[in-house]
Amino acid sequence: ASQLWNLETLIVEGSARIKLQDIFKMGKLRHLYVSKFIKIPIPFVLGDGYPYMLNNLQTIRYLPLSEGDEEVFARIPNLRKLKCRLYSKYWFPEFDFLIHLKTLSVSYS
């Protein structure tokens, strides 16, 4: 995935696991569309000293979120459209970092 640094749209379908670190190395990524069935583990610390920021990312579809995953929003400050799945009925994430957010769709698993 590190060879895809110039990619602007990523569509991933099927059943797989994606490393969030690989996605965050795609600095020009603007749109991320992920199948409902794909798991994207969001580690508490994103990594190896790499400045993981996706300033160009505007759209994410089907981001799976668990309690405590809000840290990822600070790294995608220009997000405009977000469709996410939450894994706890008793938790709703803080979207404070997403000041450009125009569309939000939330479903519970």
**Domain ranges, ordered by start, for the chain:** 2-108
Comparing CA positions, the residue from 50, 44, 45, 94 lying closest to residue 73 is 94
Q: What pLDDT, on the 0 to 100 scale, is given for residue 44?
A: 45
What tens-digit pLDDT sequence spans the chain (109 residues)? 557 788 999 998 876 667 767 787 788 999 999 876 566 665 545 555 555 688 999 999 988 887 877 778 888 899 999 999 888 888 888 888 899 999 999 998 8
- CA separation for the pair 4, 11 (Å, rounded): 13
